[in-house]
Amino acid sequence: MTDIAATRYRLMIGAASFADARAALGIADLLAQSMASELVGVLMEDTEVTSLFASPGRRIVTIGGSVVAAPSVARLRAALDNDARAFRKALGAIARQHKRAWSVRRQTGELVAGLCKVAGERDLLLLGQAHPSKGVGRVIVIAPPTGVPQRMAGLGRTLAETLRARLATVSLDSDAGADAVGMSWADETELLRWLSRIRAAAVIVDLSAGPFTTVQQLRQVVDVARCPVLVLGLAADRRSGSVAPGDEGRQAE
């Protein structure tokens, strides 16, 4: 179990664009004042995704629901350059406000796997993801099988207050704390299915405690949540080998 408040952590905020990063900056600000001693922003460029923009006639669907021609790779990279500058400016402001060390870097690779790979032993991972539509969702704490640690629950409450959202703690039926949580599902698939159908403001998972422990599972959580995901226990998982190198490849949702 990861004791998140026992010491100061480095917070890694990873996102594929500044729009996604901005969705996580509110949470980053909260964590910067309470538990993060250093802020590291990582703007990930998924080269496999970027390569798809090279296909002639490729189209994308915008957040507003328009089908338009995909920009060229060059324009996409130029947009990412702008995003990187904006990310640096915004994160720097938060870090200066709380007198924290900070940096922003660009990296290539799949977002989840790439960040898990570079995250250090004492890191918290915050995966930024902007929701396609407005509205207030719930802060979801995915309880480990052994029950929700007090500090994880506290973090969930704090996030819910900050985001003015309701807090929901969920688990699998088989978990020890399922009765106390009140919302549980038969297995991970059911839980993910539920998660994909509710409006979430943020999701908190502890990879070291489960029930989701692998990069593949984390990616699934991120894909269905469509909101920022705070990942705890990442370093412990890496030590335990739960995150396998082979998990780094992109899988279809």
Partner 1 sequence: MPHPDDAQSVPHGSLRRRVDPAALPFKTTAELESYGGLVGQERAMDAIRLAGRIHHQDFNIFVLGEEGMGRHTAVQALLAKEAAGRPLPDEWAYVNNFDEAYKPRCLRLPPGTAERLKDRMEALVNDLATEIPALFESDDYQTQRHAIEAEYGGQQETAMAEFAERAKEEDVALIRTPVGFMLAAIRDGKVLKPDQYAALDKDEQEKIDDKIARLQEELAQVLRNAPKLERQSRKAIEQLNAHTAERVVSAQMAEIEDDFAGIAQVAAHLAEVRHDMIANAGLFLQASQGGNEGPFPEAVRKYHDHPEFDRYAVNVMVSREDGDTAPVVTEDLPTLDHLTGRIEHVARFGALTTNFTMIRPGALHRANGGYLILDARRVLSEPMAWDALKRCLKSGEIAIRSMGERLGVVSTISLEPDPIPLNVRVALIGERMLYHLLVQLDQDFRDLFKLQADFENAMDSSDEAIVLYARVIGGFAARSKLRPVAADAIAALIEESMRLAEDSQKLSLHVGALGDILREADHYTAEADRTVVAAEDIAEAIQKRERRRSRIRERLQESVQRGKILIDTDGATVGQINGLSVVSIGDYRFGHPSRITARVRLGTGDLVDIEREVEMGGPLHSKGVMILSGYLTATYALDLPFSLQASLVFEQNYGGVDGDSASSAELYALLSALAEIPIAQGLAVTGSVNQLGDVQPIGGVNEKIEGFFETCDARGLTGRQGVLIPAANVDHLMLRDAVVSAARAGKFRIVPVATIDAGIEILTGVAAGARGPDGLFPDASVNGRVEARLRGFAERRRAFGRDVVQDGDRGSA
Q: Is 136 in the site for partner 1 (CB under 8 A)?
A: yes
Q: Is 135 in the site for partner 1 (CB under 8 A)?
A: yes
Q: How far is the CB of 3 from partner 1 (least distance, A)?
A: 31
**Can you tell me the distance from the alpha carbon of 239 to that of 218, in angstroms, rounded to the nearest whole number?**
17
Q: How far is the CB of 48 from partner 1 (least distance, A)?
A: 7
**Can you tell me the distance from the alpha carbon of 126 to that of 147, in angstroms, rounded to the nearest whole number?**
22
Q: How far is the CB of 166 from partner 1 (least distance, A)?
A: 5
Q: Which member of 7, 65, 74, 246 binds partner 1 (CB under 8 A)?
A: 65
CB 119 within 8 A of CB 125: yes
Q: Is 17 in the site for partner 1 (CB under 8 A)?
A: yes
CB 56 within 8 A of CB 188: no
Closest by CA to 126, choosing from 150, 155, 147, is 155
Number of CB atoms found within 10 A of residue 208's CB: 20
Find the binding residues for partner 1 in span 78-97 (CB under 8 A).
Answer: 79-80, 83
Q: Is 63 in the site for partner 1 (CB under 8 A)?
A: yes
Find the binding residues for partner 1 in span 161-180 (CB under 8 A).
Answer: 166
Q: Decide the pairing of beta strands 183-185 and 138-142.
A: unpaired
Q: Which member of 120, 132, 182, 245 binds partner 1 (CB under 8 A)?
A: 132
Q: Is 59 in the site for partner 1 (CB under 8 A)?
A: yes
Q: Is 54 in the site for partner 1 (CB under 8 A)?
A: yes
Q: Is 183 in the site for partner 1 (CB under 8 A)?
A: no
Burial class (CB in 10 A: 0-12, 13-18, 19+), 86: middle
**Can you tell me the distance from the alpha carbon of 224 to that of 190, in angstroms, rounded to the nearest whole number?**
12
Q: Is 246 in the site for partner 1 (CB under 8 A)?
A: no
Q: Which member of 3, 8, 33, 61 binds partner 1 (CB under 8 A)?
A: 61
Q: Is 66 in the site for partner 1 (CB under 8 A)?
A: yes
